[in-house]
Amino acid sequence: MTTRKIRVRFAPSPTGPLHIGGLRTALYNYLFARKHGGDFLLRIEDTDSARFVPGAEEYIIEALNWCGITPNEGLTSDGQVLTDPTNPEGCYRQSARKAIYCKYAEQLIASGHAYYAFDTAEELDALRKAAEAKGETFIYNHSIRENLQTSLKMTEVELCERLKTNSHWVVRFKMPANREVCMHDLIRGDIKVNTATLDDKVLWKAVDELPTYHLANIVDDRLMNISHVIRGEEWLPSLPLHYLLYEAFGWSDTQPEFAHLSLLLKPDGKGKLSKRDGDRLGFPVFPLAWQDPVTGECSRGYREDGYFPEAMINLLALLGWNPGTEQELFSLDELVQHFSLDRVVKSGARFNPDKAKWFNQQYLREKDNEALACLYQTELEKRSIVYDEKYVAKVCGFIKERVNFVHEFWEQSAYFFEAPKTYDEKAMQKYWKAETSAIMQELYQLLDKVDDFSPEKTEAVVHQWIVDKAYGMGAVMNAFRLCVVGASKGPGMFEIITMLGKKETLQRIKAML
RNA sequence: GGUCCGUUCAUCUAAGGGUUAGGAUUCAAGAUUUUCAUUCUUGCCAUAGGGGUUCGAAUCCCCUACGGACUACCA
């Protein structure tokens, strides 16, 4: 192992909102960088002009920012570019780096590792169909490139003429006919592929006159001194090409190490997690809500659904990685401390919405009452309910173990702010008997005489009365709860009535008489 | 079809040749509580199948099955 500085990048394509699988990739990159005191850069791979979606880049940056996994180089939260002083290019959006890639594409052609191809999409389509009809697979490689319109069989002069008159050309990589490529992946170990099964990938596109992922990615990783490429498994089949590209450029010595992460799978059924699963099963697949600028279609987000970013990070971290201990709750800093690539799981992980909720619940409970009150206040304001912070904080303390999300607070605590409007039917049937009214009447009179409405005092008085009359704890308290809460739920009754005060408590009993 | 990757409870995962295969989520039961929730206890539930190698295999090798990714002038 060399002492090379650890530098990793998250390199999304701005073709839509960032998926939680992508977010996990970003997280692992971030953790790895911080663990080793390295750099984490954000590079935007916008070389597909056809699929570019306005707003996607901003979305990606905001999502990373929300999770607290911000890059220390490249595009940052406010769209500002943080530049590494040793990187004179200083640009992290690939569309702006066209001239750089152009130079390297030419270098590859000059060295005989790539060539110009003039066939059109239609011609290739026809060839593909013809092969299919014969039951064969069409591969654009050595066996076919000699028969096609390429620079390989043209003289310098012919080529110049052709390039002048025909602007429609691509640059393709000249894949060796039969070579074993031996690769190494930090998660999967050694992998071997024969180039005979590979094709002459397009490196430079004619349609938008931009490089493809393969070229831009290799050039940038080299120029930006990337030491480790941590990316999704969907790139594994391209790894031989990437190895060969490094070799063709003569860059094998500084070639980064690779780690391919398995994909996130659907909670049920077959295949990888998709946007549709979220809609179908009722959970978000995106960190932030997103409205498609073209169709206007809306997708929900974890943030808007009430998840805490800490919970999001925690659950994503454990989906495909484990610390080797039984600890499950990790702050971002703790994750940094414990993270290691060799504890990343090889197999794909099904996403589990239940566990996601559980994580949120854990984090909600750990928050102090004041912080929760602050969040709850905005909910209360929507209902035009005004109470002071201290009261709301106490309410939060009473209910935080009964909910998973802040938006469930109201359902669990409305009775702290207004008298019940309805009474739970099943509870009424169970606890409201023929004699209950009379007992509540007595309770009303009993409490009316108590001036100190502290939990200790009211409890002492009511207990004594129940014992004296031999009414039975359950019979009285459950009915009392129905009067005050309207349902069979909530913390201790004496805590509740202290919060409400004497006047409100008596009114609520009276309403049931 | 081809290439590559993968396969331990329903789900996320631990066990890097020797354990009654462990934990968490979900689900179920019980205890506690004036109710609900919490908490606690318990239960259900797994090494895909078949061959090897070995005194001994979830672990190493091979085959099969299944799953996934890729197979674009998309990333």
Which nucleotide comes closest to A473 if you measure CA to C1'? B34
Higher pLDDT, A87 or A393: A393
Task: Please give the pLDDT value at position A120.
Answer: 85
- Are A66 and A309 in contact, with CB atoms under 8 Å apart? yes
The set of strand B positions with any atom below 7 Å of a protein CB reads 1-8, 11-15, 22-26, 33-38, 67-75
CATH code, A7-81+217-264: 3.40.50.620
Which nucleotide comes closest to A361 if you measure CA to C1'? B38
For the cut 70, the answer to whether the pLDDT of residue A151 exceeds it is yes
Higher pLDDT, A403 or A279: A403
> How far, in Å, is the CA of A499 from the C1' of nucleotide B30?
34
Task: Please give the pLDDT value at position A51.
Answer: 96
Tell me phi and psi for residue A270, to 5 degrees: -105, 155
For A290-323, how does the pLDDT look when each residue is reduced to its tens digit (9 = 90+)? 999 999 999 999 999 999 999 999 999 999 999 9
**What residues of A act catalytically?**
275
Percent with pLDDT over 70 in chain A: 97
- Are A131 and A122 in contact, with CB atoms under 8 Å apart? no
Structure tokens at A232: 């999704």
Where do the CATH 3.40.50.620 domains begin and end in chain A?
Answer: 7-81+217-264
CA distance A480 to A487: 10
Which nucleotide comes closest to A344 if you measure CA to C1'? B13
- Are A38 and A32 in contact, with CB atoms under 8 Å apart? yes
DSSP A51-99: G--TTHHHHHHHHHHHHT---SEEE-TTS-EE--TT-TT---BGGGGHH
Tell me phi and psi for residue A203, to 5 degrees: -105, -30
User: Per-residue confidence at A123, pLDDT binned at 50, 70, 90?
Assistant: confident
For A229-262, how does the pLDDT look when each residue is reduced to its tens digit (9 = 90+)? 999 999 999 999 999 999 999 999 999 999 999 9
pTM comes to 0.95
Distance from the Cα of residue A433 to its chain's centroid: 52
Which fold does the domain A425-510 belong to in CATH?
Answer: Arc Repressor Mutant, subunit A (1.10.10)
> How far, in Å, is the CA of A363 from the C1' of nucleotide B38?
15
What is each CA distance from A249 to A96, A108, A290, A307, in whole angstroms?
22, 7, 41, 46
Task: Please give the pLDDT value at position A278.
Answer: 87
For A205-232, how does the pLDDT look when each residue is reduced to its tens digit (9 = 90+)? 999 999 999 999 999 999 999 999 999 9
Task: Please give the pLDDT value at position A386.
Answer: 94
Average pLDDT of the residues of chain A: 94
Which nucleotide comes closest to A326 if you measure CA to C1'? B23
For A160-173, how does the pLDDT look when each residue is reduced to its tens digit (9 = 90+)? 999 998 888 999 99
For the cut 60, the answer to whether the pLDDT of residue A2 exceeds it is no
User: Per-residue confidence at A82, pLDDT binned at 50, 70, 90?
Assistant: confident
H or E element at residue A193:
strand A189-194
Where do the CATH 1.10.1160.10 domains begin and end in chain A?
Answer: 275-364
User: What class is the A100-204 domain?
Assistant: alpha beta
Which fold does the domain A275-364 belong to in CATH?
Answer: Glutamyl-tRNA Synthetase; domain 2 (1.10.1160)
Q: Return the minimum-mean-pLDDT range out of A86-90, A285-289, A481-485.
A: A86-90
User: Per-residue confidence at A31, pLDDT binned at 50, 70, 90?
Assistant: very high
Nearest residue, CA→C1' of B10? A268
For A404-427, how does the pLDDT look when each residue is reduced to its tens digit (9 = 90+)? 999 999 999 999 999 999 999 999
For the cut 70, the answer to whether the pLDDT of residue A66 exceeds it is yes
DSSP A380-445: HHHTT----HHHHHHHHHHHGGG-SSGGGHHHHHGGGTS--SS--HHHHHHH--TTHHHHHHHHHH
- Are A178 and A194 in contact, with CB atoms under 8 Å apart? yes
Task: Please give the pLDDT value at position A94.
Answer: 96
For the cut 60, the answer to whether the pLDDT of residue A88 exceeds it is no
For the cut 60, the answer to whether the pLDDT of residue A1 exceeds it is no
Residue type, A406: V
Residue A299 DSSP label: E
3-state secondary structure of A183: strand
For the cut 90, the answer to whether the pLDDT of residue A112 exceeds it is yes
Whether complex ipTM tops 0.90:
yes
Task: Please give the pLDDT value at position A167.
Answer: 80
Which nucleotide comes closest to A214 if you measure CA to C1'? B75
Q: Which among A86, A88, A68, A3 is positioned nearest to A317, based on CA atoms? A: A68
Which nucleotide comes closest to A324 if you measure CA to C1'? B14
